[in-house]
Structure 1
């Protein structure tokens, strides 16, 4: 069994992805101003990766999604996220898709990992954000979906750390998992060991 590949991202700068035009540049400026006004500091350059699962943690508040989307705008990256298929139907379905929703069928017989694997295969670029806790409530166990999706789609994990204790949002590392979930999870969670969520008591990882 080969060891897990991990690349630590240096925290001394926060370079974005290349510009895709005036709109992306304006979005970057607006999102950067918003985050600065809210007291946040960004750390880590966005890696030159077209496809990845981005771990978004801690996740204890609806504000986490707001700050994560603003961070994506600052980095000139369009985040994708999983949502119920019904959200992408009806009169506003197109808008929800435009905002980044990847529709999934949550019926009991459905294979979400396979759906996301197919979605990755059909896209040239896709950064899929997943909160591994699976809930904003307190939990000590992370869901395994983020890991199995990355493995099945053969894409790396980008570890993003939203730390309310230091008011920093960090792109901390790139991990390419192998085939030992328990071992890989220890490596992944080590980057979150000292992170504090908006509601500190709700973020508890197994250490």
Structure 2
């Protein structure tokens, strides 16, 4: 589905890349791994136990020279500062109705040639008893791979260790996916749980 993004291709992206790299350096963070060759991909970003995770992840995307997109409440993109939230990469989701988020994101992937969607598999920064499967079903429905982004506060790295084409069998693939994050240190380790289906 189209070509993979070319890091730093446009002038605004080159500027964003410089700002993002400086921001990461000031915070003591670095990125590891090469950007995947896929123009359409779901990125699982974990552990996710703090609002800072999203900030570091967006900065990492900038350092790689790509624009990351993420799902957020529709209300965040409204009002006088809504345009800033949209500019940051937010795809508005209307949670006031019983919408099929998987179907909506499948349509978003079908509408463009390049979409890099970041999804925290926990679904929240709070402790959960099990991961949500939405990220997986979005990837399967859109026919795109899943790339793993590991947010490791112990090493202060955002790394991309592997990419997986989902088999369609969530129960079979989940242990493989969670194994990628087994040694990662969350900002709040007590909130990072990987259990169940």
Q: TM-score, normalised by structure 1?
A: 0.86
Change (3 A) 1:156 1:28: same
Aligned pair partner of 1:127 in 108, 116, 122 = 116
Which residue number corresponds to residue 59 of structure 1? 48
Unaligned runs of 5+ in 2: none
Describe how 1:59-138 pairs up with structure 2 within 5 A.
Answer: 59-138=48-127
CA distance in 1, matches of 2:24, 2:161: 18
Query: May I ask how many residue pairs the two structures share in their alignment?
Result: 192
CA distance in 2, matches of 1:29, 1:35: 10
**Contact 2:8–2:17 at 8 Å: present in 1 too?**
no
The RMSD of aligned alpha carbons is: 1.7
CA distance in 2, matches of 1:168, 1:92: 30
Which residue number corresponds to residue 137 of structure 2? 148
CA distance in 1, matches of 2:27, 2:137: 34
- SS for the counterpart of 1:158 is strand
Which residue number corresponds to residue 203 of structure 1? 192
> Which deviates further from its counterpart, 95-104 or 66-75?
95-104
CA distance in 2, matches of 1:69, 1:194: 22
**Contact 1:42–1:170 at 8 Å: present in 2 too?**
yes
- SS for the counterpart of 1:71 is helix
Unaligned runs of 5+ in 1: 1-15
**Contact 1:17–1:75 at 8 Å: present in 2 too?**
no
CA deviations on 1:163-205 (whole Å, 9 max, x unpaired) are 1112111011111101211110011111000101001111121
